[in-house]
Structure 1
Amino acid sequence: MDTFFISHGSPTISIDETMVARHFFQSWKTKHFPTDPKAVLMVSAHWDTAELAVNIIDGTNDTIHDFNNFPRPMYEIKYPTPGAPKLAKRVKELLVNAGFDNVEEDRTRGLDHGAWVPLMFMYPEANIPVCQLSIQSSKDGTYHYNVGKALAPLREEGVLIIGSGSATHNLSLLGPEHVPPPSWAVEFDKWLTESLLGRRHEDVKHYEEKAPCAKTAHPWPDHFFPLHVALGAAGENAKAELIHHSWSNSSLSYSSYRFQTA
């Protein structure tokens, strides 16, 4: 089974029908992944912990509205998808077996907006069990790539692995809509696509040194590390495909990728 990295963008996708990325998520089952997986493992930029953690939810995942000063209807949205406790325990088992000793279990945390906003359009029936795995912004790209490598067996077990972040993410430099993206965003986005399509995984792991404008595109790495997990889970010979690209607020890239396993 292939793995994916999606740029989830602004949570306003949940209510704004004009946003192009929303249409991409809505086309998920018809254009990109028509077969329902047994479960989804979502690695979201918005769960950042000191050590690896999985949410083990026996019932329904809570919908976490982890954003401020947005329109009221956004706080009323619920995405009551089932938890995936068996998957969560399997994730922990694989990580521990790979040498990641400290994997915490969170039995209360639901889905943050990096998970439920895209999933509510990808699987609107809310009938696919979902488990979340946290990222560690204090680590690096190689660490997260190796996390993904440890999780590779899940691909053959009917689990869809999705990294959810953003191809570029510098909220302090967001501009207005409908203006050309700045050169730093274009250069980094272009480098990322070319590196992935060229299977230059080592460059992507060490993007801080290899990519142009890396620190401007990602002043904090939280929205980029989910890509490394998805890429690592696909395997060393994985082939990348750009499946969506658009811009929002001039500098926010919605580039999303499929990693086809060899």
Structure 2
Amino acid sequence: MGQRQSQAKKPNTRATTPTPITRRDQQQQEGSGLEFETERRMDTFFVSHGSPTLSIDETIPARHFFESWLPAAVAGAEPPRAILVVSGHWETAAPTVNVIRGSNGTIYDFYGFPKPMYQLKYPAPGAPDLAMKTKSLLEQAGFGPVKEDHTRGLDHGAWVPLMLMYPDANVPVCQLSLQTGRDGAYHYELGRALAPLRDDGVLVLGSGSATHNLRRMGPDGTPTPPWATEFDAWLRDALLAGGRHGEVKRWEEAAPHGRTAHPSPDHFLPLHVALGAAGEDARAELIHSSWTNASLSYSSFRFTPATAAKN
């Protein structure tokens, strides 16, 4: 993808050690109606994961943002109980969750990159209880039948940012697929169905890119083209200035250069899920902004539920 390369480096471990859901906890939860112990209400997030070389290239500005996630307590002083990731790299006809008992596998769904990238592992525990609760919530909201995948691990849209955000790989992770044949409004409503997870201490994380046109990238250091800056500015304004959720749902017609910024919606729809999961009138906050490859925006957002925002 024309990104700078550097030598592979194992992520640093940190002194803070999250307490994951144990296998015994999972079995108890699965046998008791999939109930979680409520810890705190979580914000939801959309992060731009950019190029897979984020995993090894320390010169990418966004890498430092992801590495600061735990020290800066971006998602709270304590790690989440579990993480539900909606990535731009898993598309299915019907909503699907990966139900993994044991450790998640690491999927290398990219080609032509430096060999050290294919040696990286992110063996985060699976979250079968979260997967089944996600399935239940979606089916109750009319999004069923929701399928189960018992073999699929984490694609690079999930494990690349997570290996920097939670480098100890000890927070349980579940993935939910996208339906790229459906629009932003559909994924926003899908996110709304997942809102109860926030009260269970679950981090709902959309992982994509604020702009994503691989054919129109350029060398680092070259000016960002107007179509990219204008789309990125529209997104910030729609989210931050007016909370124009309806406009974001209709981004193809409402945004300037929408189809240029996203020839395929796969990397933008995770934002709709995260935004919907925060609920109506959620407050948006820009938590990172940077560019690589001239036109690849790493703009990332936090969505705080309205009730929490008032407190």
Q: TM-score range by the shorter chain?
A: over 0.9
2: CA distance, partners of 1:21 / 1:133: 24
Whether 2:287 is the aligned partner of 1:243: answer yes
- In the alignment, which residue of structure 1 is the partner of 2:24? none
Match of 1:150 among 169, 193, 196: 193
Whether 2:304 is the aligned partner of 1:260: answer yes
Whether 2:252 is the aligned partner of 1:208: answer yes
2: CA distance, partners of 1:76 / 1:69: 14
Q: Which structure 2 residues correspond to residues 213-224 of structure 1 after superposition, within 5 A?
A: 213-224=257-268
Match of 2:207 among 156, 164, 175: 164
> How far apart are residue 242 of structure 1 and its match?
0.3
Larger Rg: 2
> So what's the TM-score if we normalise by structure 1?
0.99
2: CA distance, partners of 1:219 / 1:230: 21
Match of 1:121 among 154, 164, 176: 164
> How far apart are residue 102 of structure 1 and its match?
2.2
Match of 1:41 among 84, 94, 112: 84
1: CA distance, partners of 2:116 / 2:145: 38
Query: Secondary structure of 2:247's match?
Result: helix
Whether 2:237 is the aligned partner of 1:190: answer no
Q: Which structure 2 residues correspond to residues 15-54 of structure 1 after superposition, within 5 A?
A: 15-31=56-72, 32-33=74-75, 34-54=77-97
Match of 1:96 among 139, 153, 156: 139
Query: Secondary structure of 2:70's match?
Result: helix
1:172-205 deviation per Cα after TM superposition (whole angstroms, max 9, x unaligned): 0000001121000000000000000120000000
**Identical-pair percentage:** 66
Q: Which structure 2 residues correspond to residues 225-244 of structure 1 after superposition, within 5 A?
A: 225-244=269-288
Contact 2:95 2:144 (C-alpha < 8 Å) held by counterparts: no
Gaps of 5+ in 2: 1-41, 307-311
1:65-101 deviation per Cα after TM superposition (whole angstroms, max 9, x unaligned): 0000100000000001000000000000000000012
- In the alignment, which residue of structure 2 is the partner of 1:12? 53
1:148-178 deviation per Cα after TM superposition (whole angstroms, max 9, x unaligned): 0000000000100000000000000000001
Query: Secondary structure of 2:207's match?
Result: strand
Query: Secondary structure of 1:117's match?
Result: helix
2: CA distance, partners of 1:30 / 1:240: 21
- In the alignment, which residue of structure 1 is the partner of 2:219? 176
1: CA distance, partners of 2:236 / 2:226: 15
- In the alignment, which residue of structure 2 is the partner of 1:137? 180
Query: Secondary structure of 2:276's match?
Result: helix
2: CA distance, partners of 1:253 / 1:35: 28
Please tell me the root mean square deviation across aligned C-alpha atoms, in Å. 0.6
1:87-118 deviation per Cα after TM superposition (whole angstroms, max 9, x unaligned): 00000000000001221100000000000000
Deviates more, 1:138-147 or 1:29-38: 29-38
- Count of aligned positions: 262
2: CA distance, partners of 1:171 / 1:105: 31
- In the alignment, which residue of structure 2 is the partner of 1:68? 111
The one-letter amino acid of 1:235's match is: G
1:43-82 deviation per Cα after TM superposition (whole angstroms, max 9, x unaligned): 0000011110000000100000000010000000000100
Question: Per chain length, whose mean CA-contact separation is higher, i.e. which structure has more relative contact order (CA < 8 Å, sep 6+)?
Answer: 1
1: CA distance, partners of 2:51 / 2:192: 29
- In the alignment, which residue of structure 1 is the partner of 2:36? none
2: CA distance, partners of 1:62 / 1:101: 26
